[in-house]
Structure 1
């Protein structure tokens, strides 16, 4: 079967301290980093051996993974497996990009976020240009706070035109129509992020063809529904995979609502659901 896995291990450290982020500027102990590395290597081993499925993997760490060698290595290794369709990671792009030379560029993708105030603009833009020159698939985005608008406009103007710039609605921020129009001018898909999506009772691919996995191998339908479906490593989750409705009132995160069957986003992002890259018109 085609199976999408959202993996989030114990890692929770980040080198940025964005005020809107719940895992800003944390430091992980040596013990936790070792546990995260072991958990990721166990998951990579499972993915390598699970040749009966066509896998797509998105790493969504509570922190910055690409500054850790084991995440870079996992991405490279998974990208070369014939049964892995896509392997991607969410990243602030603070680390070096040269490691991507060892990956299969047809499989690897990066979901990059620009955080104004945390990194010099020219440094971030330079990393984007390195990725573009080396042929790595990537998207770039910002959180839609008013103080980010000018730099987001500058970034859109200076990124290669084929690079999609997405905008996430800031949590708790109510956008006026003129404000929403400004952000939609940069990201035509911003209206999907502007308001949480009512999801209760609606069909969703999570729990059927999409699963969330933590460092212990516990499988849930997605990051936002805590009910357990089983464990990845003993295979107990397989019997629980089936179409099901969302039990939550609303879904307000892209990595969640993109899988709602009532939204057209699998068509909008055809071929780039994990890395948030829309299909070419």
Structure 2
């Protein structure tokens, strides 16, 4: 079985406090950190044992995982397993990068977000350059708030051409066509993020070949649908895996809508769906190229 797993344990602490971030920001207690470490180690052991499957894993912690040694270790260990196709994590890149030398860089990938006001620009750019020089597969991105536009332009100009810079539409922020055009100059794929995607009743890979898992091993089709499919550790989820339409009205997060079969994003990000890295063809074709009409003119949804 080819299975993509989005893992989100109980970790909720972060060294940043971005006002636009929907994630909870708090300082985890020692007990909470101990529980998160135990949950992650249990998941890593499960993944290591799934030698009959082809696994892809994306860690999507509420907080910042890479400042914790157990997340770095999990990424390193999983990257060396022959049946793991990709292991990636969403990160603010505040951690050191030297640990990546101990990982299999054909399997490891990072989804890096720059948060202006939370870290010096030169420090973040320096970390990106370290990843590029070490040939660590990664994408870089920013939230598309008005105050971030010049930061994004500066970052795009400084990053190597082959590093994709994505822009996330800010939650609850509407974009005029002129504003959207400015962001699209930076990220030609921004139109996919600009508006929520109508998803009700549409086929989606989640619940069939993509699942989300929490620290207790509870399996759901994705982070945004609460219905449970079973438990990872007793194997009960497997009987529930099947094609199914999306039950939600809209999907407005990349880690959700990238799996919609009504969108071409598995082709756009072929080989890099988890870390948000487009194919070289898609990236070069998008830069300065036409935006798909059905995406560009999609009206805002309620």
Specify the TM-score bucket, using the shorter chain as the normaliser.
over 0.9
Taking structure 2 as the reference length, the TM-score comes to: 0.92
Aligned residue in 2 for 1:115: 115
CA distance, structure 2, for counterparts of residue 210 and residue 24 of structure 1: 24
Cross-structure match for 1:71: 71
Aligned to 1:133: 133
SS at match of 1:119: coil
Runs of 4+, deviation exceeding 2 Å: 22-25
> Where does residue 241 of structure 1 map in the other structure?
241
Residue of structure 1 in register with 2:291 after alignment = none
| 2:38 aligned with 1:30 | no
Structure 2 residue 18 is matched with structure 1 residue 18:
yes
1:272 corresponds to which residue?
272
Measure the CA separation in 1 of the matches of 2:8 and 2:24: 16
Instruction: Report the Cα offset of residue 280 of structure 1.
Output: 1.0
Kept in 1: contact 2:24–2:62 (CA 8 A) = no
Give the match for residue 45 of structure 1: 45
Aligned 1:112-191 pairs, distance under 5 A: 112-191=112-191
RMSD (Å) for aligned C-alpha atoms: 0.6
Give yes or no for contact 2:12–2:25 (8 Å, CA) kept in 1.
no
Partner of 1:193: 193
In the alignment, is the contact (CA less than 8 A) between 1:14 and 1:26 conserved in 2? yes
Q: Does the 8 Å contact 1:199/1:249 carry over to 2? A: yes
Structure 2 distance, partners of 1:47, 1:24, is 27
- Greater shift after overlay, 51-60 or 17-26? 17-26
* Counterpart-to-counterpart distance in 2, 1:155 and 1:275: 19
SS of the counterpart of 1:167? strand
Taking the aligned partners of 1:128 and 1:256, their CA distance within structure 2 comes to 26
1:58-97 matched pairs, under 5 angstroms: 58-97=58-97
Consecutive unaligned residues of structure 1, counting only runs of 5 or more, are none
How far does the alpha carbon of each residue in 1:171-195 deviate from its partner, in whole angstroms, 9 at most, with x for none? 0000000000000000000000000
Cα distance in 2 for partners of 1:24, 1:118 equals 16
Give the whole-Å Cα distance in 1 for the aligned partners of 2:25 and 2:225.
26
Aligned residues: 281
CA separation in 2, counterparts of 1:83 and 1:220? 22
The residue that corresponds to 2:223 in the other structure is 223
Give the corresponding residue for 2:211: 211
Deviation at 1:21, TM superposition (A): 1.0
Asked if the contact 2:7/2:57 (under 8 Å) is kept, the reply is: yes
CA distance in 2, matches of 1:121, 1:179: 23
Separation in structure 1 between the aligned mates of residue 24 and residue 105 of structure 2, nearest angstrom: 30
Q: Return the offset for 1:23.
A: 3.1
**Cα distance in 2 between the residues matched to 1:221 and 1:5:** 10
Q: How high is the TM-score relative to the length of structure 1?
A: 0.99
CA–CA distance in 1 between the matches of 2:201 and 2:25? 37
